[in-house]
Structure 1
Amino acid sequence: MGTPTDIVIAATALAACIVLGGGIYETVVVDPRWPRRPGIIQERNGGIVRRRFWIPAHAAFEVLLVASLILSFGDAPVRNAVLVALVSHAVMRIWSFLDFIPKALEFERTDPADVDVQAAVAWTRRSRWRLPLDAIACVALLTALALA
């Protein structure tokens, strides 16, 4: 089976991959379409409710990430890989909280006819740059798992 540390790191790597998968889905499926059809991201207009995925996915990942760091702290190579994931994820989350989330909420609240399509397209283009940060976290955690 594995030690509890191995299991927690494996769960953390899985959660990181789920977050990356969600980001890829939004980038490939949702983001190319919603700027011209904002109703698809607006719950009141029958659109998707992104927070139903993102809040639990990030909460689970972040709790597991902290647990992985605590459990691996005595093993420098594993700890360092987990720290790389933590830093990458922290950069992505800070950037999201300062830029992406407030603008996303604004797009979700704005009447579809009043959404600035150019601003929405610019948002989706900038949002793609969060994927490499998620990918770094995934690779770092898979590395930590291999080292554990």
Structure 2
Amino acid sequence: MEKIAVNRNVEMHLSLSRADLWLFICLSTYFIMNGAQLWETVIMTPAWTAAPPASLVFFQAPYGLDFKVFWIVVHSCHEVIFLLALVFNWKIRARRLPLLILFVVHVAIRVWTLAYFVPTIIEFQHLPFSNAIDPELVVKAAQWRHLNYLRVGLFFIVNLLFIPVFSLQSTQQ
């Protein structure tokens, strides 16, 4: 019996360590993603949204920027890590609901991203370059930019809310 108890305690300790580790990896990955979002939001977005279609030169071939693959890889990796953090923390009752809420909010922001931001930026990327400035496109680009500030802010808030989850009781109940 003692041997089983010792093994169970070791197993429980390893499980808690994995829970904390995956939570830390998820938080760290989120910070890396937030850094890339911040860079894009502060540097790139104001430039391409300034005066379309003239400012859309960033997207034009043959040297146009296309962050699609980068964001697909970053978000996919982060979401797998997020799911692993959720799985490894599931038995920790104090963490389960906060992590589940953060995941649902994260997924809602991603759905918004895929429903509005992705198709809209793809539409901008496919517009032919022109030295002219189209007032309707300027308004549409400004709306995208302002909503993007909100979206990136929400991603930052979700990420920062991971920090207090670490302080929640890390015992399985």
Normalised by the shorter chain, which TM-score bucket? 0.7 to 0.9
CA shift for structure 1 position 145: 3.0
1:51 — aligned with what? 68
1:105-144 correspondence to structure 2 within 5 Å:
105-113=122-130, 116-144=137-165
- Quote the Cα distance in structure 1 between the aligned partners of 2:160 and 2:98: 9
The yes-or-no answer on 1:12 pairing with 2:30 is: no
Q: Percentage identity across aligned positions? A: 23
Matched, 1:26 2:40: yes
SS at match of 1:128: helix
Counterpart amino acid of 2:30?
A
Q: Distance in 1 between matches of 2:64 and 2:43?
A: 13
* Pairwise CA distance, 1:39: 1.8
Q: Which amino acid aligns with 1:15?
A: T
Query: Which of 61, 81, 87 is 2:78 aligned to?
Result: 61
Q: What's the CA shift for 1:45?
A: 4.5
CA–CA separation in structure 2 for the residues paired with 1:111 and 1:146: 52
Match of 1:87 in 2: 104
Q: Which has the larger radius of gyration?
A: 2
Q: 2:118 maps to what in 1?
A: 101
Q: Aligned pair in 2 of structure 1 residues 43, 11: CA closer, same or farther (>3 Å)?
A: farther
Q: Give the Cα–Cα distance (whole angstroms) in 1 for the partners of residues 39 and 104 of structure 2.
A: 23
* Structure 2: segments with no counterpart, 5+ residues: 1-15
CA drift at 1:14: 0.9
User: Do the aligned residues in 2 keep the contact of 1:12 with 1:64 (CA within 8 Å)?
Assistant: yes
TM-score of the superposed pair, with normalisation by structure 1? 0.87
- Give the structure-2-normalised TM-score: 0.76
- Name the structure 2 match of 1:76: 93
Q: Which amino acid aligns with 2:149?
A: R
Q: Answer yes or no: is the 8 Å Cα contact 1:72–1:78 preserved in 2.
A: yes
TM-aligned CA deviation for residue 71 of structure 1 = 1.0
Paired letter, 1:109: H
- Mapped pair 1:38 → 2:52: no
